[in-house]
Amino acid sequence: MNVTTVTAAEAAARLTGHNDILILTHRRPDGDTLGSAHALCRLLRQKGLRAFLHRNEDVTPRLAPLLEGMTPPEGFKPGFIVAADIASEDLFLASCAPYRGKVDLCIDHHPSNTGYAREVLLDGQAAATGELIWALAGILGITPDRGAMHALYIAVATDTGCFCFSNTTPLSHRIAAACIEAGVDVHAVNREFFERKSRARFQIERRLFDTLCFYGGDRVAASVLDRDFADSVGASGDDLDNLSTLIMQLDGVECAILLQELPQRGEYKVSLRTQKPLNASGICAVFGGGGHARAAGCMVRGDAEQCRDMLAREAVRQMESPC
């Protein structure tokens, strides 16, 4: 497939030149993929186009409202397929298998994007895909309604850690200000996504810190969360979100590694965060993953402790032998 990188203006022209648009989001969705997709869908509808979000079977209760009223009717056949915040087809939902090799436009901010779509609107410097959707709104000449602004705030706030991560840009803050001016209850969003915790979440966090292992002079910290424990405390997908960020809060830690066991026993989702200058994406790339310089991920299989030690050793190696 020939892949073409397009500008925001060209992407806007593609979107308005088609109808029956279907927007895909990635498996184990976060606020950016669903927030960006929701906002884009509303913008296109404001433009008079038929647009829908593919139903995400992995959605958690916290993010489920972003799908309400946005999924297609029975028998819908897309005329144009958009992927929002999906760096690779490996991140496709199982239900998106029919769309492999058929994505017309990918809108993304991951430098590790594999170029699987026919055309890609990519900005690796953007804090979130939501920033690209904001730019598209301006090019389309649309003032996003409050629902779109609410979704954009979720997209940008979650991917910047409520504007605390180093990827936060001036545009991140400008979008947040515009959302406040539009009447979005940002306090409620911040409470829901960054403050409120279930009892299961507290148990998960205690387990996380109790099982931490340290490497490289305590600069690398790694932990494994096994599926049996998560199930035993009744943890939901929301309870398991953004755990690696907690490890980075430890003084002296420059690299945090979390392995979360998936329903398939012995298979682990790895979330990795780093401080400058260590490149999280570079570490995960060794194991077939990728992402951003400060936050990245990959998948590993095997014995939990061996996988943990393998990842930590690679982090220490790159830390001590920077390219």
86 and 177 fall within a common domain: yes
65 and 183 fall within a common domain: yes
Q: Note the pLDDT of residue 297.
A: 92
Residue ending a domain, among 164, 194, 224, is 194
DSSP 8-state class, residue 296: E
CA angle 222, 227, 233 (to 5 degrees): 105
Q: Note the pLDDT of residue 1.
A: 46
Residue ending a domain, among 194, 227, 256, is 194
In the structure, what pLDDT confidence band is assigned to residue 75 with cuts at 50, 70 and 90? Answer: very high
181 and 218 fall within a common domain: no
184 and 208 fall within a common domain: no
- Pairing outcome for strands 119-122 and 4-5: parallel
In the structure, what pLDDT confidence band is assigned to residue 237 with cuts at 50, 70 and 90? Answer: confident
- Judged on CB neighbours under 10 Å (0-12, 13-18, 19+), 323 is exposed
Closest alpha carbon to 54 in 114, 115, 102: 102
Residue 53 forms beta bridges with which residues?
Answer: 23
Residue 316 maps to which CATH number? 3.10.310.30
Which residues lie below 8 Å from residue 64, measured CB to CB, with a gap of 6+? none
189 and 224 fall within a common domain: no
159 and 32 fall within a common domain: yes
Could you identify the residue written with the tokens 């997209």? 155
Q: Is the pLDDT of residue 89 over 80?
A: yes
184 and 221 fall within a common domain: no
- What's the mean per-residue pLDDT of the chain? 95
Q: Rounded to an integer, what is the distance from CA 68 to the centroid of its chain?
A: 20
Domain residues for the domain of 284 are: 199-320
Residue 31 maps to which CATH number? 3.90.1640.10
- Average pLDDT estimate for 278-286: 94
172 and 217 fall within a common domain: no
174 and 222 fall within a common domain: no
Q: Which tokens is 136 given?
A: 């598209």
Domain count, the chain: 2
In the structure, what pLDDT confidence band is assigned to residue 3 with cuts at 50, 70 and 90? Answer: low
174 and 218 fall within a common domain: no
112 and 259 fall within a common domain: no
- Pairing outcome for strands 21-24 and 80-84: parallel
Q: Note the pLDDT of residue 264.
A: 86
Distances (CA, A) of 74 to 52, 54, 55, 234, 323: 12, 12, 12, 33, 52
pLDDT digits (tens, 9 = 90+) for 248-264: 999 999 999 999 998 88
CB-CB contact of 78 with 44 (8 Å)? no
Bigger pLDDT: 1 vs 167:
167
Q: Is 0.95 topped by the overall pTM? A: no
CB-CB contact of 274 with 175 (8 Å)? no
Residue ending a domain, among 194, 218, 241, is 194
137 and 240 fall within a common domain: no
- Average pLDDT estimate for 34-47: 98
